[in-house]
């Protein structure tokens, strides 16, 4: 440590811990124990995340600290690149939502002080929830956030330009980070699509068309324009950017109902919003705060080069292989520039469809395109219908849909006759099209399959517990029982987000070797309670609140009030107060 930098004993001890964890992780890497190395790296990043803003600024003036962070970053990525697929943005938001339920002892994280920076024109709030999300990105979400930062360089300039034109704060480009990780091909469980995650109805409202052939929600330029307009419309409705973000995540009418209920326009006081929405704004703020100054938070990232492209409009169905040849590039690169094109051709029957080409190739494309005969722009197969064949089997054979075959052959129904011919559209370069298609499939299915089979065999400093799932259990319930997180249980058992657990299923949970000591250390300070008076009832299997209310002649509303319950959910073994006397 340089002589001109003074640090407290507490910071010095924490730095020693970080270096110790780094050394242990490197030793595990040499032993080819990537899981053990990952655990030690996570512990090191946990220590780093506990530094306050003042401490972080102080340490940044020490070059060796930056060197250690960069080296850990590089080694940590090496583990993840070889072992795991990155989490999707939707899974990251779910993880952060689960973390909210746990009380963490670190005062820097759980401090109640609130700081608001409006110097850029957009109000950046730093409070307990935002600090919690920042800590998540510095630790558990470190690898995926690094990938998002890298990918942001590709689209950042383009989106900033659109937002400036629409008079929307440029800082809102980081909304695409927590929505999709700047991935124009992202698709959520709720069928939201594209970098800005528009559902079908919202996309149509902002003129983003889609069918079997194409989906403009995946068009970076058009969807970014739609997102800017949508955010602008929400701001006209709410007049507050935090309420705008809440309305973007859930139904705006739900936000308005909460505003009327609590008689406030302060987002932080709307306690009845969906839990994911209550965490959505802090998650966005955390991502934006880190993305503005990534090095300050320990992220040393080389962003991808900005995307540059020319735009042309085509009204005929054009095979993308032809576009690649005319511009002296590859089919794969044309597909990358045009994520909105779902098949191998631009959509038939769409006039002036926007096609993106490599920068500087527009004139060359137009000259070559004018010379191509219409029958060469798209390929067909003449299929003779055999006895017993149906439209569905023919569609499967050519990797297309029944609707496309019916449209191409002007069929009204599904009836076809043996001996007749059908025209089937097919790619000119089948090998390139199916290679890209299979590569995309393997990216999202093969890795998930591998991940599901990867079960953790050992966790240093922890012992293995096998829990048998009971009827009504959720991963959240099990996590609460063992004072851990549902996301960790998924990793330990090779479960993906969205996988179900079933009664009698065996779940492995890793708990600290001295569980009682761990519980005491993480438990909130004990508070003396007054002796409770009244009658209590222990819930039995099959009981409902309605049954208990009838038995003790009390209303369900009074039961919930006496037991401070927000929902009507009860479980066998719960102890309910049924009378006050």
What is the average per-residue pLDDT within 472-488? 79
Of 140, 152, 175, 87, the residue nearest 301 (C-alpha): 152
Of 120, 181, 125, 124, the residue nearest 152 (C-alpha): 181
Task: Give the phi and the psi of residue 462 in degrees, each rounded to 5.
Answer: -130, 160
500 backbone φψ class: left, alpha, beta (φ>0; ψ -120 to 50): beta
pLDDT of residue 158: 94
Q: What is the pLDDT of residues 404-453, one digit of tens each?
A: 788 778 788 888 888 888 878 777 665 555 555 555 444 444 444 434 44
What is the average per-residue pLDDT within 329-356? 89
Q: Is residue 227 in some structural domain? A: yes
Q: What is the pLDDT of residues 260-287, one digit of tens each?
A: 999 999 999 998 888 888 999 999 999 9
CATH number, domain containing residue 47: 1.20.58
Of 229, 231, 245, the residue nearest 285 (C-alpha): 245
Of 169, 181, 292, the residue nearest 241 (C-alpha): 169
**How high is the mean pLDDT of the chain?**
80
SS3 (DSSP) at 425 = strand
Q: How far are the Cα atoms of 35, 323, 330 from residue 377, in angstroms, in the given order?
A: 52, 9, 17
Whether residues 230 and 191 share a domain: the answer is: yes
Whether residues 226 and 165 share a domain: the answer is: yes
Count Cα neighbours of 336 within 13 Å in the Cβ-side half-sphere: 12
Q: Which of 254, 270, 297 is the last residue of a domain?
A: 297
Q: Please answer whether residues 208 and 217 qualify as being in contact, where contact means their C-beta atoms are separated by less than 8 angstroms.
A: yes
CA distance 153 to 157: 8
Radius of gyration from C-alpha coordinates of the chain: 28
Q: Please answer whether residues 486 and 476 qualify as being in contact, where contact means their C-beta atoms are separated by less than 8 angstroms.
A: yes
Choose between 572 and 532: higher pLDDT. 572
- Find the range with the poorest average confidence among 170-174, 464-468, 521-525: 521-525
Whether residues 78 and 202 share a domain: the answer is: no
Whether residues 137 and 80 share a domain: the answer is: no
Of 133, 128, 60, the residue nearest 296 (C-alpha): 60
Whether residues 179 and 125 share a domain: the answer is: yes
CA distance 572 to 541: 5
**Structural domain that includes position 383:** 379-427
Question: How many structural domains comprise the chain?
Answer: 5
Whether residues 3 and 64 share a domain: the answer is: yes
pLDDT of residue 83: 43
Beta-ladder partners of 464: 510
Q: Can you give the pTM of this predicted structure?
A: 0.61
Whether residues 467 and 493 share a domain: the answer is: yes
Per cent of the chain over pLDDT 70 is 79
Q: Which of 255, 270, 297 is the last residue of a domain?
A: 297
Whether residues 69 and 34 share a domain: the answer is: yes
Using the CB atoms, write b or e for 355-371: b if 16+ within 10 Å: bbbbeebeeebeeebee
pLDDT of residue 549: 82
The C-alpha angle 290, 291, 295, rounded to 5 degrees, equals 65
Q: What is the pLDDT of residues 449-472, one digit of tens each?
A: 434 445 777 787 788 888 988 887
Task: Give the phi and the psi of residue 278 in degrees, each rounded to 5.
Answer: -65, -30
SS3 (DSSP) at 579 = strand
The C-alpha angle 499, 500, 502, rounded to 5 degrees, equals 150
Whether residues 483 and 570 share a domain: the answer is: no
- Across 61-65, 138-142, 303-307, 487-491, which has the greatest mean pLDDT? 303-307
Q: Which of 279, 297, 315 is the last residue of a domain?
A: 297
Q: Please answer whether residues 228 and 196 qualify as being in contact, where contact means their C-beta atoms are separated by less than 8 angstroms.
A: no
Whether residues 139 and 235 share a domain: the answer is: yes
What is the average per-residue pLDDT within 94-119? 55
Q: Pairing relation of β-strands 353-358 and 309-314?
A: antiparallel
Using the CB atoms, write b or e for 264-284: b if 16+ within 10 Å: eeebeebeebeeebbbbbbbb
Whether residues 6 and 78 share a domain: the answer is: yes
Residues 6+ apart with CB under 8 A from 185: 194, 218, 339, 440
Whether residues 134 and 15 share a domain: the answer is: no
CATH number, domain containing residue 242: 1.10.530.10
pLDDT > 50? residue 522: no
pLDDT of residue 106: 39
303 backbone φψ class: left, alpha, beta (φ>0; ψ -120 to 50): beta
DSSP of 463-499, one letter per residue?
A: EEEEEEPPTT--HHHHHHHTTS-HHHHHHHTTPPTT-
CATH number, domain containing residue 568: 3.10.350.10
pLDDT of residue 475: 82
Q: What is the pLDDT of residues 530-561, one digit of tens each?
A: 455 678 888 876 677 777 887 888 888 888 88
Using the CB atoms, write b or e for 152-166: b if 16+ within 10 Å: bbbbbebbeebbeee
- Strand locations in 315-378 (E): 353-358
Choose between 102 and 519: higher pLDDT. 519
Of 418, 364, 368, 372, the residue nearest 391 (C-alpha): 418
Burial of 124 per CB tally in 10 Å (0-12, 13-18, 19+): middle
Of 533, 529, 526, 579, the residue nearest 552 (C-alpha): 579
Q: Is residue 40 in some structural domain? A: yes
Q: Is residue 64 in some structural domain? A: yes
What is the average per-residue pLDDT within 124-142? 88
Output the six-digit token pair for 301: 């990232």
pLDDT > 80? residue 337: yes
SS3 (DSSP) at 117 = strand
- How large is the angle between the packed helices 142-165 and 63-83, nearest 10 degrees? 100
CA distance 65 to 55: 12
Q: Please answer whether residues 552 and 579 qualify as being in contact, where contact means their C-beta atoms are separated by less than 8 angstroms.
A: yes
Q: Is residue 151 in some structural domain? A: yes
Q: Is the dihedral of CA 202, 205, 206, 212 positive or negative?
A: positive
Beta-ladder partners of 536: 577
Q: Please answer whether residues 216 and 203 qualify as being in contact, where contact means their C-beta atoms are separated by less than 8 angstroms.
A: yes
């Amino acid at each position: 440590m340089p002589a001109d930098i003074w640090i407290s004993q507490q910071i010095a001890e924490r730095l020693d811990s970080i270096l110790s964890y780094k050394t242990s992780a490197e030793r595990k890497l040499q032993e080819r124990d990537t899981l053990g190395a990952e655990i030690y790296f996570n512990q090191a990043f946990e220590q780093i995340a506990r530094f306050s803003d003042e401490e972080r600024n102080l340490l940044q003036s020490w070059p060796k600290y930056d060197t250690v962070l960069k080296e850990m970053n590089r080694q940590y990525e090496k583990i993840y690149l070889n072992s795991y697929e990155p989490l999707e943005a939707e899974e990251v938001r779910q993880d952060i939502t689960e973390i909210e339920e746990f009380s963490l002892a670190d005062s820097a994280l759980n401090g109640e002080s609130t700081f608001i920076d409006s110097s850029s024109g957009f109000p950046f709030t730093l409070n307990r929830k935002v600090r919690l999300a920042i800590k998540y990105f510095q630790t558990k979400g470190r690898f995926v956030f690094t990938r998002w930062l890298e990918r942001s360089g590709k689209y950042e300039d383009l989106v900033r330009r659109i937002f400036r034109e629409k008079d929307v704060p440029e800082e809102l480009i980081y909304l695409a980070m927590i929505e999709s990780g700047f991935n124009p091909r992202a698709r959520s469980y709720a069928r939201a699509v594209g970098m800005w995650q528009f559902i079908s109805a919202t996309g149509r409202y902002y003129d983003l068309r889609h069918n079997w052939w194409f989906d403009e929600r995946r068009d970076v330029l058009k969807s970014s324009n739609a997102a800017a307009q949508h955010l602008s419309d929400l701001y006209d409705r709410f007049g507050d950017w935090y309420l705008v973000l809440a309305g973007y995540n859930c139904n705006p009418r739900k936000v308005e109902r909460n505003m009327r209920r609590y008689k406030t326009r302060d987002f932080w006081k709307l306690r009845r919003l969906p839990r994911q929405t209550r965490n959505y704004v802090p998650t966005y703020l955390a991502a934006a705060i880190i993305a503005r100054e990534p090095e300050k938070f320990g992220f040393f990232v080389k962003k991808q080069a900005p995307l540059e492209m020319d735009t042309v409009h085509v009204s005929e169905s054009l095979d993308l292989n032809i576009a690649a040849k005319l511009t002296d590039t590859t089919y794969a690169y044309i597909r990358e520039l045009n994520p909105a094109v779902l098949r191998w051709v631009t959509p038939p029957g769409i006039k002036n469809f926007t096609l993106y080409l490599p920068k500087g190739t527009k004139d060359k494309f137009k000259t070559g395109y004018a010379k191509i005969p219409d029958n060469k722009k798209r390929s067909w197969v003449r299929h003779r219908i055999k006895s017993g064949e149906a439209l569905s089997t023919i569609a499967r054979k050519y990797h297309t849909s029944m609707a496309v075959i019916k449209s191409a052959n002007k069929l009204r129904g599904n009836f076809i006759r043996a001996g007749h011919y059908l025209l089937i559209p097919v790619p000119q370069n089948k090998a390139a099209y199916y290679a890209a298609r299979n590569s995309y499939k393997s990216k999202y299915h093969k890795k998930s399959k591998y991940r599901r089979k990867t079960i953790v065999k050992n966790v240093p400093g922890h012992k293995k517990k096998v829990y048998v799932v009971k009827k009504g259990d959720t991963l959240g319930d099990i996590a609460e029982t063992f004072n851990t997180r549902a996301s960790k249980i998924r990793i330990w058992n090779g479960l993906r987000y969205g996988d179900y657990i079933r009664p009698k299923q065996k779940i492995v949970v890793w708990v600290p070797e001295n569980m009682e000591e761990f519980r005491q250390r993480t438990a909130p300070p004990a508070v003396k309670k007054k002796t409770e008076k009244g009658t209590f009832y222990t819930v039995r299997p099959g009981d409902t609140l309605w049954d208990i209310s009838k038995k003790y002649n009390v209303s369900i509303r009074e039961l919930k009030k006496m037991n401070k319950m927000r929902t009507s959910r009860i479980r066998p073994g719960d102890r309910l107060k049924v009378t006050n006397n």
